[in-house]
């Protein structure tokens, strides 16, 4: 073990044995926004051997205020967040393996991503994905760490399959908030506060220090100086469809998964293809160029803006983001008018 981790190894609960454990662990981070980049950087610097980052979006200028792995160049060229995060982390720690995947994490994708995972970290911005993570976690018996923040308010909780209430249990009793960063804004310190709670619990889990886990849901407001730790163990339900005695994992059911989604607070609709396949961006560029408008392309995505100032972003995995509307029907009509 080189000197890179010497100060961390001097921390008695981790030590050399814990550092060896970290080097053998695989953490899957769903989302590469503020929480995702913060978690990824701390765990990469800590020496977690394998980190997989999955994200469906690309870097925009508004991200740079709080999403710490990205640069102005990333925003300028609309780099996929997962790719930009991976490239930065490879510069931070070349001793570990970092995988950055540009995809929308549905049930099928999550099953593949977590095949050999030791821990899942939630860095998403919507409960549809979180409930998928929750059911995958319960089905595969993989712990996951919930995190959320908006404005100056943050939440975090560790979910251990078979031991703690799951997210489905909590949603019936604990208010999780309805505002988004795009409606209420956000300040960077609350991001770092949530990341600190998530990563400290992650290090405990990954090094076998489970007795030190917090075992409470924490919420805080860093602007108004509020902090609360809630014991939610009594909320665990024996008849919960996700973690009860007879689990059905309802959110993994294909019937409960949509091919279109309104992105949280973004005035944007995402359309997923009905079948998997790789889109030929070069061919699409030629086709759209004939229609007029503006076409911009990088190796991972293509952006098309028409004369009505509507913008569509096409990804190689077939997905498309339609910016400027929350109306799914309107988004589909625009998409089909261009693609057929």
Alpha carbon distance 209, 161 (integer Å)? 17
Whole-model pTM: value is: 0.90
**Given 3.90.380.10, 3.40.50.300, 3.50.50.60, 3.30.310.10, which CATH number is that of 258-339?**
3.30.310.10
Strands, sheet with 320-323, edge to edge from the N-terminal-most edge strand: 260-262, 268-271, 320-323, 311-315, 301-305, 294-297
User: Does residue 177 come out as left (phi exceeding 0), alpha (psi in the -120 to 50 range) or beta?
Assistant: left
Residue 185 has pLDDT above 90, yes or no: no
In this prediction, residue 310 carries a pLDDT of 82
pLDDT digits (tens, 9 = 90+) for 220-240: 999 999 999 999 999 999 999
The mean-pLDDT minimum among 124-138, 176-190, 232-246, 307-321 falls in 176-190
CA nearest to 150, candidates 41, 66, 53? 66
What is the arithmetic mean of pLDDT over 65-69? 95
Token code pair at residue 143:
């712990």
In this prediction, residue 113 carries a pLDDT of 96
Residue 236 contacts by C-beta under 8 Å, 6 or more apart in sequence?
Answer: 164, 165, 166, 169, 243
Residue 117 has pLDDT above 60, yes or no: yes
279-285-290-293 Cα dihedral, nearest 10 degrees: 110
Tell me whether domains 3-254 and 258-339 share a fold.
Answer: no
DSSP symbol at 271 = E
Higher pLDDT, 1 or 247: 247
DSSP β-bridge partners for residue 217: 230
Domain boundaries, the chain: 3-254, 258-339
CATH code 3.40.50.720 for 3-254: yes
- In total, the chain counts a number of residues equal to 340
């Amino acid at each position: 073990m080189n000197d890179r981790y010497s100060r961390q190894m001097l921390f008695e609960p981790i030590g050399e044995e814990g550092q060896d454990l970290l080097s053998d662990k695989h953490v899957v981070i769903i989302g590469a926004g503020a929480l995702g980049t913060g978690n990824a950087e701390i765990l990469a610097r800590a020496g977690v051997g394998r980190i997989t980052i999955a994200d469906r979006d690309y870097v925009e200028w508004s991200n740079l205020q709080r999403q710490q792995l990205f640069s102005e160049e990333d925003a300028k060229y609309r780099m996929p967040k997962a790719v930009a995060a991976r490239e930065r982390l490879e510069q931070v720690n070349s001793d570990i393996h970092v995988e950055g995947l540009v995809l929308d994490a549905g049930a099928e994708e999550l099953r593949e991503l977590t095949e050999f995972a030791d821990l899942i970290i939630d860095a998403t911005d919507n409960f549809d994905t979180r409930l998928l993570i929750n059911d995958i976690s319960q089905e595969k018996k993989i712990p996951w760490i919930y995190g959320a923040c908006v404005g100056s308010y943050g939440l975090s909780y560790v979910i251990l399959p078979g031991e703690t209430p799951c997210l489905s249990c909590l949603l019936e009793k604990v208010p999780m908030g309805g505002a988004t960063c795009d409606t209420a804004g956000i300040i960077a310190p609350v991001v770092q506060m949530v990341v600190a709670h998530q990563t400290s619990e992650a290090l405990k889990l990954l090094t076998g220090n489970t007795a030190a886990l917090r075992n409470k849901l924490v919420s805080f407001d860093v602007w108004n100086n509020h902090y609360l730790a809630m014991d939610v163990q009594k909320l665990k339900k024996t008849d919960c469809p996700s973690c009860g005695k007879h689990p059905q994992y309802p959110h993994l059911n294909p019937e409960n998964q949509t091919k279109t989604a309104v992105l949280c607070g973004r005035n944007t609709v995402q359309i997923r293809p009905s079948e998997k396949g790789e889109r030929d961006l070069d061919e699409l560029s030629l086709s759209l160029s004939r229609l007029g408008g503006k076409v911009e392309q990088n190796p991972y995505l293509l952006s098309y803006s028409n004369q009505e100032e509507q913008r569509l972003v096409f990804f190689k995995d077939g997905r498309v983001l339609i910016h400027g509307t929350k109306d799914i029907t309107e988004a589909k009509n625009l998409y089909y008018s261009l693609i057929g």
